[in-house]
Amino acid sequence: MNHAEKAEVFNKDEAKVNWHDKALWYVREKRDTSAHKVQGWEYLRELGSGIKANVLSNLDEYLVQFESNAQKNGVIVHWASNAEEHNKIVGSILDKHQAKKVVKSKSMLTEECHLNPFLEKKGIEVIDTDLGERIVQLAEEPPSHIVLPAIHKTKEEVDVLFQEHLGTKPSQGNPEYLVSEARKHLRDKFLKADVAITGVNFAVADTGGFVVCTNEGNADMGVHLSKVHIACMGIEKIIPQEKHLGVFLRLLARSATGQPITTYSSHFNKPEEGKEMHIVIVDNGRTEQLSREDFRASLHCIRCGACMNTCPIYRRSGGHSYDYAIPGPIGSILSPGKDMKKHSSLPFASTLCGSCSNVCPVKINIHEQLYKWRQVIVKEQKQPIIKKSILKVAGVVLSKPNLYAIAGKSARFALKHAPKFMIYNKLNAWGKARDLPEIKNENFDEWFKKRNKDG
């Protein structure tokens, strides 16, 4: 199924779509209010983008510097060229410690690498400890948003899910009750865990330390209660110096949820005495993306989710319709680089309104990259013959003003007088959920000339 077909499934529940749309727009508005309170917000965005561009141009040096400083701090550093290697490395660390219980705090990279199913196959229990992540884990679904993973679920649905899996009482979706039950359930998991896995938001080259941002403190809780900490990061998570954290931490939380700062910005530098800390640095297609001149800026992404919250397509089609670990506009420019055939419909799932680029804290030209991918995909992939022929005819008509005027006149006549079934049928996907506006007798040109003549 392509994006449009998957979106159709989500669109079946109209009330839910409206609610999903409103909920995400509310987050977008919070982001606006919060960003507007910061003097020099645009300057901060420029800085963030500039620092990321510098990182990408000197990635090799910063990564080696980070590795060497992390090793000096007593951290064990691993390199993985792809998802398979990443999973094997994590698996081997767990085997070495005979770990059977793992708590994980939110990490989109481990989602991207499908770490959970890999570890579960080895008989290891992996518990996602971010509340939203735990909800989707219990529902056996992937996250639908990178910051709000269970945004597609109503509190009533969570109520039923918790009754089924955690044995809670029916509460008609009482959030306080559900959160307190989740807390009890997760606390037990934290206390029994052998190993904690976290993601990395920012890895600082000149100190070898890294920062993990959470709102629930689950990364800290997991790390402090386990003997081993494994942090998994993509190669683009590097920033040159500690002082640059001031730029990114201010941009990240405001863009993500409108908060001035995430509740916990946890700094990890070295293992506690008697404990072990590992960092797995993962490529998994990022160097290839870096080599694509038109798309390399997509690696600036700090995973705030703002482009999703603002996107009219994402809000009304839901994250699962993208079928990729990172959904929404940014996912639509990352995924074709991973598997163009599978994800070829995603760059077309956009109005190209540019709202994503406007809110992106690191100024990624998302809508321009979506447009570029469309060109690449049309060139490299077989297009449906109907679409190809229509575009060919449109190309001829649009390049000849006289022909365009005749075609317009005929189309207006046909749309006015043709029977309904000829206009609204299977071939007209656009008309499935929409009525055409009233057809006028004249086009703009004719109207304009007449208006001038009439004075």
Q: What does the binding site for ligand SF4 look like in residue numbers (CB under 6 A)? A: 255, 301-307, 330, 359-362, 364, 366
Nearer to ligand SF4, 67 or 236 (CB): 236
The distance of closest approach from Cβ of residue 373 to ligand SF4 in the complex, given in angstroms and rounded to an integer, is 14
The residue whose two tokens read 């109520």 is 159
Both tokens assigned to 308: 């999703």
CA atoms of 33 and 363, how far apart (whole Å): 18
Nearer to ligand SF4, 158 or 297 (CB): 297
Q: What angle do CA 392, 414, 395 make, to 5 degrees?
A: 15
Nearer to ligand SF4, 103 or 366 (CB): 366
CA atoms of 57 and 236, how far apart (whole Å): 11
Nearer to ligand SF4, 186 or 364 (CB): 364
Radius of gyration of the chain (CA): 25
The distance of closest approach from Cβ of residue 252 to ligand SF4 in the complex, given in angstroms and rounded to an integer, is 8
Nearer to ligand SF4, 271 or 328 (CB): 328
Residue 155, H or E segment = helix 155-166
CA atoms of 165 and 412, how far apart (whole Å): 58
Do the beta carbons of residue 102 and residue 197 sit within 8 Å? yes
Do the beta carbons of residue 281 and residue 233 sit within 8 Å? yes
Nearer to ligand SF4, 118 or 248 (CB): 248
Do the beta carbons of residue 97 and residue 195 sit within 8 Å? yes
DSSP character at residue 304: -
The distance of closest approach from Cβ of residue 396 to ligand SF4 in the complex, given in angstroms and rounded to an integer, is 37
The distance of closest approach from Cβ of residue 115 to ligand SF4 in the complex, given in angstroms and rounded to an integer, is 21
CA atoms of 107 and 225, how far apart (whole Å): 19
The distance of closest approach from Cβ of residue 43 to ligand SF4 in the complex, given in angstroms and rounded to an integer, is 17
Beta bridge partners of 228: 195, 276
The distance of closest approach from Cβ of residue 366 to ligand SF4 in the complex, given in angstroms and rounded to an integer, is 6
Nearer to ligand SF4, 27 or 126 (CB): 27
Residue 239, H or E segment = strand 238-239
The distance of closest approach from Cβ of residue 256 to ligand SF4 in the complex, given in angstroms and rounded to an integer, is 8
Nearer to ligand SF4, 208 or 285 (CB): 285
The distance of closest approach from Cβ of residue 60 to ligand SF4 in the complex, given in angstroms and rounded to an integer, is 23
Nearer to ligand SF4, 115 or 360 (CB): 360
CA atoms of 444 and 142, how far apart (whole Å): 48
Length of the chain: 455
**Crossing angle of helices 155-166/175-192, nearest 10°?**
40
The residue whose two tokens read 């990279």 is 109
Nearer to ligand SF4, 238 or 359 (CB): 359
Q: 10 Å Cβ neighbour count for 357?
A: 19
The distance of closest approach from Cβ of residue 108 to ligand SF4 in the complex, given in angstroms and rounded to an integer, is 10
Nearer to ligand SF4, 203 or 359 (CB): 359
Number of Cα atoms under 13 Å in the Cβ half of residue 384: 6
The distance of closest approach from Cβ of residue 289 to ligand SF4 in the complex, given in angstroms and rounded to an integer, is 13
CA atoms of 455 and 194, how far apart (whole Å): 83
CB proximity list for 323: less than 8 A, separation 6 or greater: 1, 3, 6, 342, 343
CA atoms of 233 and 57, how far apart (whole Å): 18
The distance of closest approach from Cβ of residue 314 to ligand SF4 in the complex, given in angstroms and rounded to an integer, is 10
CA atoms of 432 and 423, how far apart (whole Å): 10
